[in-house]
Structure 1
Amino acid sequence: MTQKDIAFVFPGQGSQKVGMLAAAAAAYPIIGDTFAEASTVLGYDLWDLVQNGEQEQLNLTETTQPVLLTSSVALYRAWLAAGGAVPALMAGHSLGEFSALVCAGALEFSVAVKLVQQRGSFMQTAVPVGEGAMAAIIGLEDDAINAACAAAAAESGEVVAAVNFNSPGQVVIAGKSAAVEAAITLCKAAGAKRALPLPVSAPFHTELMRPAGEKLAEAMAAIEFSAPQVPVVHNVHAAMESDPAAIPELLVRQIYSPVQWTGCVQAMTAAGITRVVECGPGKVLSGLNRRIDKSLSSFNIEEPEALQNTVTELASA
């Protein structure tokens, strides 16, 4: 049964942590089954890496991407197994858009696991480790951040730009490390409350990622997408796309274009969404969504008790 006022959102990189989903896997066998399916595709034990690996390894993007995709899909399968309703809309933040497309039936899980591993590798090799950086700028208007990035880019001669419009007052910048540092300094001088470096290993969603986008396009050339069974709001233009032939281009553009998360959430509320379930580790998107629209009710289902309580609460409302 679909509930018209519910959306599911799927997190992107930065939400990964060693030991995540241990309790959920103990309660829902389908989570272990999903990780086993991914492990077969990848050729290594993904669950063992998540439970017993090093955080530094989890943070490498070619590892992070299959880890988070698998975590989100596993939780969505557990949600359905527990009797949870099918949402009316889905969206994912950056990498999370692939999780949304899998859960919406537009892309096979096994295909997506391999694809995001390749995507991570393409993105990592586009800029060597240590040469790129990302940082969240808190408490400064978008225009001021764009101006600081432009000034830092002009001064350094290197790329830096606003790349994730996460919520009013929170924008992520990315680019070459020195240019990002210069932009941080300018943002603070302009009145930013904080600037937080992010635990990622490449400057995502900048022009530096265009070569990765070209390689992703080649990797997707032989992949067949299906029409989403649940509409997905895409990062690039904060709109839905029902034509499966148009989806690959949106995923390619997403690699080197800003994530319009504020627009995505506004598009969902305009479509009648009042309750949003974050399907994946952490609560990053729930916090952002509240800043975008305080009327939204947010739910997290990473822990088994929270999952079951959310199934019950949303069914009875």
Structure 2
Amino acid sequence: MSDFVLLFPGQGSQSKGMLDAFDGIDVVTRTLEEASDALGYDMAALIRDDAEDKLGQTEFTQPALLTASTALMRLWREKGGAEPTQVAGHSLGEYSALVAAGVIDFSDAVQLVAFRGQVMTQAVPAGIGSMAAILGLADDVLEELCVNASDDSDKVWAANYNCPGQLVVAGHAAAVDRLMVSAKEAGAKRALPLAVSAPSHTPLMQPAADAMALRLQDITFSAPNCPVWGNASATTEQDVEKIREALVAQLISPVRWTETIQKLAATGVSRGVEMGPGKVLSGLVKRIERGMIVGVSVTPDQLESSINLMAGE
């Protein structure tokens, strides 16, 4: 069996009923119960029904996605799926990757990301910040446009380097609005405002980063059992204290996903599995490294196929 990577999705991959295809599977049920015990509310009901429209709220989205990814990871192992040689997660998904690598216990992690969602929401008052997806411009062109759209009071930064020609920007709402106009004038195919108010992965998240730095000191970290790729650095780290620091840096630094996948391919990784709801990451990988094959885990059949794919069958 050759090297392969498990990829864990971030915010935006959630959907009501995202674990319905796995209903009644014991390990999935137990994972939902463990999350409920840690958080004090019914995680299964949130994911299945979302009766109060909370799944789109950051403080609920983040633990729900972590729970879904962890449940699928546990099912993967229960079915005899091979252990990954490397793991990586997009934004919030970095926490799922750390759970998979044995760095953080799931119960601790699900409480951590609930807290992360709360402090991110609180860091910038509603209406002050925004995010937008820009399609069809080169990274360096968009970076220059961000500089030009910023002034002393309002700033915008590149926040997610998702794949060539697809970047997300974030910052003060006025600067993001200016950036979208200038991006279209510069030839962008599309400039789309995103339905989020927290300008993630920018310096505006410094209050959240400070709060997370304190909270992370209360959590036991163990050495990873395989390399975990960090969003902020696009590198792997074995030292647990540096992993803590990376989770703080992640909040105020762009997600370097394109570079991460390119580096994975350069190490010889040619296969992977998106371990979580949806197919966002598998789609991005196709645009970054065409030669990398990525399976998905949206249904039990797809999970089984991915298990066989990683086993070389």
Same fold (TM over 0.5): yes
**Superposition deviation, residue 149 in structure 1:** 1.4
Q: Which of the numbers 6, 9, 23 marks the counterpart of 1:8? A: 6
CA contact (8 A) 2:99 2:109 kept: yes
CA contact (8 A) 1:205 1:256 kept: yes
**Superposition deviation, residue 137 in structure 1:** 0.7
- Which structure 2 segments of 5+ residues have no match? none
1:94-243 equivalences under 5 Å are 94-154=91-151, 157-243=153-239
Distance 1:201 1:304, change over 3 A: farther
Q: What's the counterpart of residue 293 of structure 1? A: 289
Which amino acid is 1:234 matched to?
G
**Superposition deviation, residue 4 in structure 1:** 3.6
1:239-258 equivalences under 5 Å are 239-258=235-254
Which amino acid is 2:164 matched to?
P
Q: Give, in whole Å, the separation in 1 of the partners of 2:287 and 2:128.
A: 32
Relative to the length of structure 2, the TM-score reads 0.97
CA contact (8 A) 2:158 2:168 kept: yes
Q: CA RMSD in A?
A: 1.4
CA contact (8 A) 2:134 2:183 kept: yes
Relative to the length of structure 1, the TM-score reads 0.95
Q: What's the counterpart of residue 22 of structure 1? A: 20
Q: Give, in whole Å, the separation in 1 of the partners of 2:192 and 2:198.
A: 15
**Superposition deviation, residue 55 in structure 1:** 8.2
Query: Residue by residue, what CA displacement relative to the aligned partner does 1:182-209 show, whole Å, maximum 9, x if unpaired?
Result: 1111111100001222333411001100
**Superposition deviation, residue 172 in structure 1:** 0.5
Which amino acid is 1:276 matched to?
G
The yes-or-no answer on 1:278 pairing with 2:277 is: no
**Superposition deviation, residue 311 in structure 1:** 1.4
Q: Give, in whole Å, the separation in 2 of the partners of 1:4 and 1:208.
A: 41
Q: What's the counterpart of residue 89 of structure 2? A: 92
CA contact (8 A) 1:14 1:199 kept: no
Which SS does the other structure have where 1:5 is aligned?
A: coil
**Superposition deviation, residue 130 in structure 1:** 3.0
Q: Give, in whole Å, the separation in 2 of the partners of 1:312 and 1:9.
A: 17
Which SS does the other structure have where 2:255 is aligned?
A: coil
**Superposition deviation, residue 258 in structure 1:** 0.6
CA contact (8 A) 1:30 1:77 kept: yes
**Superposition deviation, residue 56 in structure 1:** 4.5
Identity %: 48
Q: Give, in whole Å, the separation in 2 of the partners of 1:259 and 1:276.
A: 19
Q: Give, in whole Å, the separation in 1 of the partners of 2:302 and 2:52.
A: 25
Which SS does the other structure have where 1:57 is aligned?
A: coil
Which amino acid is 2:22 matched to?
A
| Count of residues paired in the alignment | 313
Q: Which of the numbers 303, 307, 310 marks the counterpart of 1:311? A: 307
CA contact (8 A) 1:61 1:201 kept: no
Q: Give, in whole Å, the separation in 2 of the partners of 1:114 and 1:247.
A: 18
Q: Give, in whole Å, the separation in 1 of the partners of 2:135 and 2:83.
A: 34
Which amino acid is 1:9 matched to?
L
